[in-house]
Chain A
Amino acid sequence: MARGVLDLSAQASRDEFLREVEAEAGTKVSVCYQCGKCAGSCPVSFAMDWEPFQIMRLVQLGAVEEVLNSRAIWLCVSCTACSERCPREVDVAAVMDALRILARRKGYRAPEGEIATFHNLFLDTVRAGGRLHELGLMARYKLGTMNLFSDLDVGMTMMRHGKLKLLPHRIAGTDSLRNLFARVRERGQRGERR
């Protein structure tokens, strides 16, 4: 997202979005006073389009499009340095989680598509077998993103060291796990969150 002029005239949706984010994140964004400590603590702010304190401000302003289309919310690695250090006790990392969740729920296409794809494939492999199978995930990720040739060198070395299991381990209780995923999905569709 390019940083342009924000239209803040839609006041009605402004508080609505702030409340929605605060409810999903379980923390108050409205108390952020823009000190920037989160950005100073953030290991990946250099790669973000908006830094964490700017995302907090945009949420306060109800700038839904800028926030939910941002790269920043997907680049956040959840290291929680921001949340640990915030003088206003805003759980900034929980806000980033909430924004990823809301972006997905509202059908926004992640500008960091590979990161969103990675999360989807990760959960697919867990739902199928109960545990993450790293080699299987990597194969699907490479096919899904057409990143076929990255990391072949390290992959070969890992294989030699016995660090990549060829076949996945399936847990015995895959039924209980599928039910768990299904019930979470049902609840989401009924809007029974929080």
Chain B
Amino acid sequence: MRYAYYPGCSLSGTAVEYDRSTRAVARALGIELEEIPDWSCCGATSAHSTDRLLSLALPARSLVKADAMGTDVAAPCAACFNRLRTTVHEVRSRAAVRREVEEVLGEPYEARAQVYALPDVIVNHYGTEAIAGRVKKPLDGMKVACYYGCLLVRPSRITAFDDPENPKTLDRLIGALGGEPVPWPAKTECCGASLSITRTRVVWQLAAQILTAAQKAGAEAIVVACPFCQSNLDMRQVQAQKWSGLRWDLPVYYFTQLLGVALGLPAADLGLGSHFVDPLGILRQKALV
């Protein structure tokens, strides 16, 4: 299995452990991730809030290079995945959009390469059976709330990733790793994304609702597949505890980190030292690290 890898900007900064654990896990599973040369930012919410054509042309600049590599794209960041896949969809389905995008790019863009979210690649393309066969340290029944957020699943006509109201891809993975995915109602609620910086209190409130739902469902941890979900539930958790007077102490892992733990990879390769809420305590309790 070979994919063009689009890490996205957050994975060299606030989500550096997502990049590290993704590369480690892919190596261990034999999934080849080849970074798209000289890729640029997808533009994120700021581009599609400002100019529709800009929001398609920015991802297209990197996708042209993926076309040249002759492989489909794997995107770990849910936000990048959403913008890249939207671009492929728009360019494939509307000739006028393709002409506009090519004009501002200054080169042809055929949108041959499809874009897949990393959980789709690992859980659905690679498969849970193949993964289960490689598990060295089963998660010992760890109760995990799988949090999908928005951009991985919606809008479903574009993302084509699982059920938009009750996705189960990550739940199946946790099950295959020997954990216990808990059913809970906030799987696809929104964490507030970029309001984290501009309207932090709104994000505290949203994080509080999500964390409380996970806690009520009996979760010992949360897994995510998005840098914004991770930072809004982990980094903001400590502040939201002070603000709300509630207490959760729920570690928030990237799914690649727990996958790596179960595959027996060293903690240092998985970036487990860079969370706000202690990620190692429960892993030590279960003798997983």
B281 at the interface (CB under 8 A from A): no
Asked if B193 and A77 make an inter-chain contact with CB atoms under 8 angstroms apart, the answer reads yes
Q: Judging by beta carbons under 8 Å apart, are A83 and B155 in contact?
A: yes
Q: Complex: how many Å from CA A66 to CA B50?
A: 20
Q: Which range holds the interface residue count of chain B? A: 35 or more
How many residues of chain A are within 8 Å of chain B by beta carbon?
61
Task: Please tell me if A163 contacts chain B, counting CB pairs below 8 Å.
Answer: yes
- Among B14, B47, B104, point to the contact of A134 (Cβ < 8 A): B14
> Does A104 sit at the interface, judged by CB under 8 A?
yes
Contact A169 B189 (CB under 8 A): no
**Cβ contact of A101, chosen from B14, B39, B51, B164, cutoff 8 A:** B51
Residue in B13, B155, B156, B202 whose Cβ sees the most chain A Cβ within 10 Å? B13
Q: Is B194 an interface position by the 8 A CB rule?
A: yes
Closest chain A CB from B45 CB (angstroms):
6
Asked if A65 CB lies within 8 Å of chain B CBs, one says no
> Which residues of chain A are within 8 angstroms of B47 by Cβ–Cβ distance?
123, 126
Interchain nearest-CB distance for B106 vs A (Å): 6
The answer to the question of B124 belonging to the interface, with a C-beta cut-off of 8 Å to chain A, is no
Residues from 43 to 78 in A contacting B, C-beta threshold 8 Å: 43-44, 46-47, 75, 77-78
Contact A119 B197 (CB under 8 A): no
**Is A131 an interface position by the 8 A CB rule?**
yes
A24 to B40, CA, bound (A): 26
Among A11-19, A32-40, A172-180, the stretch that binds chain B is A172-180
Known: A130-B40, A184-B57. A84 touches B14 (CB 8 A): no
Interface residues of B in 94-117 (CB under 8 A from A): 96, 100, 103-106
CB–CB A158/B14 < 8 A:
yes
Q: Report the Cα distance A8→B205, complex, angstroms.
A: 37
Contact check, B198 vs A173: say whether CB atoms are below 8 A apart.
no
| A181 with B52, Cβ < 8 A, contacts A43-B189, A83-B154, A173-B38 known | no
A177 engages B61 (CB within 8 Å): yes
Known: A165-B12, A187-B53. A131 touches B195 (CB 8 A): no
| B41 adjacent to A131 (CB under 8 Å) | yes
Given contacts A154-B235, A162-B274, A165-B12, contact A176 B155 (CB under 8 A): no
- Assess whether B30 is interfacial by the CB under 8 Å rule: no
Distance between B103 CB and nearest chain A CB, rounded to angstroms: 7
State whether A171 and B106 are in contact (beta carbons under 8 Å apart), knowing that A78-B45, A119-B45, A187-B100 are contacts in the complex: no
Task: Name B residues whose Cβ lies closer than 8 Å to a Cβ of A.
Answer: 9-10, 12-16, 38-41, 43-54, 57-58, 61, 96, 100, 103-106, 150-151, 154-156, 164, 188-190, 192-195, 197-200, 202, 205-206, 235, 238-239, 273-274, 276
